[in-house]
Amino acid sequence: MSKETISRRSFVKGFAASFVSLAGLGVLNACGNNSSQPASSSTEAASAASTAAATAAATEAALEAANTAAKAAGMTFTPGTYEATAKGIASDVKVTMTFDETSIKDVKVDTSGETPEIGGKISDEVAQKILDGQTADIDAISGATVTSDAVKKAAADCIAQASGQEVSLSDDSAAATGADWLGTKPEIAAGDITEEVDTKLLIVGLGTGGWAATLAAADAGIDTLVIEKKETPTGIREDIGGIGSKWQKESIKKFPEFEIDKMEAVEDIVRYGTGYVDYNLIKLWANESGELVDWIGGILEDSGKYYMQHEGGVGDTRYKERDKAYATGHSPHKTEEYADDKDVTTSSVFTEYCEKKGNIKFKFSTAIVELVQDDSGKVTGVIAQDQTDNHYVKINAENVLMATGGYATNTDMMNALQPMTQEMKVQCRIGSTADGSGIKAMLWAGGLMDPIHESMMFNRCAVKPDETAGYKTTGEWFWFGEQPFLKVNLKGERFCNESGPYEFMLHSMEMQPGHTYCDIFDANNKQYTEQFQEVGCCRLWPFDNGAISNRDYDSCWQSNEELIEKGYIIKADTLEELAKGLNIPEDTFVETVKRYNELCAKGKDEDYGKAPHRLTPVDTAPFYGVRTVAWHLTTLDGIRINTNMQVIDKNGDPIEGLYATGDCSGGFFANNYPNLFTGLACGRTMTFARHAVNYIASL
Ligand SMILES: Cc1cc2nc3c(=O)[nH]c(=O)nc-3n(C[C@H](O)[C@H](O)[C@H](O)COP(=O)(O)OP(=O)(O)OC[C@H]3O[C@@H](n4cnc5c(N)ncnc54)[C@H](O)[C@@H]3O)c2cc1C
């Protein structure tokens, strides 16, 4: 081996055999799973997460060995310079070490991406400690434990490489194997915890689920602390899905087709999840969501600042669509008096509600780092970090409810668990703080993760004509993308029934070259969007019962004009010109449109079975086309819970004191998001949050 720096990739390649041997022990398999490759295909591995946990444990053990070995006299190394990285608190910490045959000769540490006044300034100090001690097993620098741990890990990795041990923790090897996204629970020295707080109930995360839990705790009179990573709360979303609310019942009086058979709905959600779901959780949503909507809608309406609407629409009832729509959506809208008042939000209304009740405290800019457990495994609180000055706080709580959202912005987790989603989407710019930190904390505490890893994605993202999908590509919101216009692949061919749930289209797209398709529409698109009778947030026209849609056609078209300006949407006078603008083969495309128009004229889709009212021809200039890919909204798999929302372990037993709801919890979705149940994600999140708190109150 030369004295040159040995890259992580060449090291991984060189030690492929080592990985094979670890895989043979059942350590490195079953990762990188997605819907078509369920992690549970291994009977041994209960989930990819537990496999990752096992991997982390195995690598920890190997690191121990590496550390011990580095200290032992007589140890030999292959001379050279080695480098490794490990996750710190805000960046990848890098360690570069030079070895001769028997010792560490030089150490360079780069923590410059860490918090400047804390981890960012320890590089020289820790490098010297490693060199002086000839070991990675140095004492952590007080106040910078997480950064110190990352340095120790990366240094141990370098030692392992130099001594030929079968271990690697660096991040691109993790991406290659999908193994190291979990890491190990941070060790926070008692001396680093400078604040301690007691509460009966701790709610972690103040988004959709956190708010429903907080309001339920306010009603139940429980002494509650709510911590939220950001400086302000995340509000609730536009559509809340439920069955049996008073608003829905009112609509049904006039529109009997909106009536929902609960068992049929439950069966359909189970079918969407192809069985990888907890039947009882879905029944619980079906049974309690109407009451949830009445309760939360009541709080909003009583403020005088909001009113609720039931979104009454199930599509064009003349036709039996392949995928049935359920009128489950409910939306809060501001009353006329407050419509333009930017200070009035659902969060401001809820905050006032809690202030009146007097039993809720909020602590913002505070992120959970890990859960604290007693010897029996019961969760007794958390260690959190104040984001303003990075001090640690210990929060002792009788019960902890996690509502920290999913992991859409955690690239390591996404690469490892959802590689296909990474191929379909563009860079995640949803302003989300969903980084999987809550999920990781629950895994460290023994929680079990869903076996199928999947996401909610909109097929509403435009890329430029020379671009294709992929998480490194940037893109632009393209709300129109959901409309069931003609869609062609990059060869100019039609490839699916364009009418269906978001992910059906995107998964069909994943099977096409470049994981990208083109939406094609013409000058008559306005009348077609009305004729489509879309439901949920895809709808651009008032619902059948008069409820307003989330967005209307005119605002959407205005956005389209901007996309034309920016070169995303191509506008052309001829189909040939359109094909040229989109960089797709002209002849094939023209043939495809000809065939599609014939089917439209017949009123029967003999090729893909799209319903007649959605077969709209492309025959009137100007013609429009845009390359469309996925916009990632959130992840849908999380930590398994029982019907009291208690987090369960791999034996199905509850971890006492620990509850979860929303995107950090599991058992409800698999393989796709059934968006034809409008607002299902928020509906289950809020229903379960309230149920959990009511259960805690009853203890
Ligand atoms: C643009 C968009 C529109 C959507 N529209 C809808 C819709 O209309 N209807 C629907 O059903 N679904 C919708 N969804 C999905 C829906 O938002 C989620 O399923 C739902 O919000 C989940 O709620 P949650 O409480 O689990 O997570 P979130 O609402 O994301 O809240 C999680 C909170 O936890 C905080 N947090 C994260 N990590 C930590 C930590 N370590 N410590 C402390 N706090 C932390 C976050 O900052 C955040 O405030 C939409 C998603 C997006 C992105």
CATH 3.90.1010.20 fits 76-164, yes or no: yes
Q: Which CATH class is domain 455-633?
A: alpha beta
Contact yes or no for 627/517 (Cβ under 8 A)? yes
pLDDT band at 5 (very low <50, low <70, confident <90, very high): very low
Q: Which two tokens stand for residue 278?
A: 């907890």
Q: Which two tokens stand for residue 643?
A: 């019907």
Distance CA 499, CA 491 (A): 20
Distance CA 100, CA 80 (A): 7
Over residues 95-128, the pLDDT tens digits come to 999 989 888 999 999 998 777 777 788 999 999 9
Distance CA 460, CA 494 (A): 18
Distance CA 438, CA 642 (A): 18
CA nearest to 648, candidates 443, 400, 405: 443
User: Residue 66: pLDDT above 50?
Assistant: no
74 CB-contact burial (10 Å; exposed 0-12 / middle 13-18 / buried 19+): exposed
Over residues 355-403, the pLDDT tens digits come to 999 999 999 999 999 999 999 999 999 999 999 999 999 999 999 999 9
Q: Is 371 in the pocket of ligand 1 (CB under 6 A)?
A: no
Distances (CA, A) of 527 to 332, 375, 533: 28, 65, 11
- Residue 653 falls in which region: left (phi positive, over 0), alpha (psi -120 to 50) or beta: beta
Q: Looking at residue 55, what is its pLDDT?
A: 37
Q: Is 433 in the pocket of ligand 1 (CB under 6 A)?
A: yes
Asked whether the domain spanning 455-633 has the same topology as the one spanning 76-164, the reply is: no
Task: Domain ranges for the chain, please list them.
Answer: 9-62, 76-164, 193-451+636-698, 455-633
Type of residue at 659: Y
Q: Determine phi and psi for 555, rounding to 5 degrees.
A: -70, -35
CATH 3.50.50.60 fits 193-451+636-698, yes or no: yes
User: Residue 23: pLDDT above 50?
Assistant: no
Which element (helix H / strand E) includes 177?
helix 171-177
Contacts of 324 (CB under 8 A, 6+ apart): 268, 314, 676
User: Ligand 1 pocket check: which of 404, 427, 686 to mutate, most ligand atoms within 8 Å of Cβ?
Assistant: 404
Contacts of 656 (CB under 8 A, 6+ apart): 376, 377, 378, 379, 646
Please tell me the residue having the least CA distance from ligand 1 atom 38: 404
Residue 237 CA to ligand 1 center (angstroms) comes to 8
User: Ligand 1 pocket check: which of 433, 668, 669 to mutate, most ligand atoms within 8 Å of Cβ?
Assistant: 433
Q: Which two tokens stand for residue 106?
A: 């030089």
Q: Is 227 in the pocket of ligand 1 (CB under 6 A)?
A: yes
Q: Is 536 in the pocket of ligand 1 (CB under 6 A)?
A: no
Distance CA 81, CA 102 (A): 14
Q: Looking at residue 85, what is its pLDDT?
A: 82
pLDDT band at 506 (very low <50, low <70, confident <90, very high): very high
pLDDT band at 89 (very low <50, low <70, confident <90, very high): low
Q: Which two tokens stand for residue 558?
A: 């205005």
CA atoms within 13 A on the CB side of 423: 18
The pTM assigned to this predicted structure is 0.79
Which element (helix H / strand E) includes 397?
strand 392-402
Q: Is 404 in the pocket of ligand 1 (CB under 6 A)?
A: yes
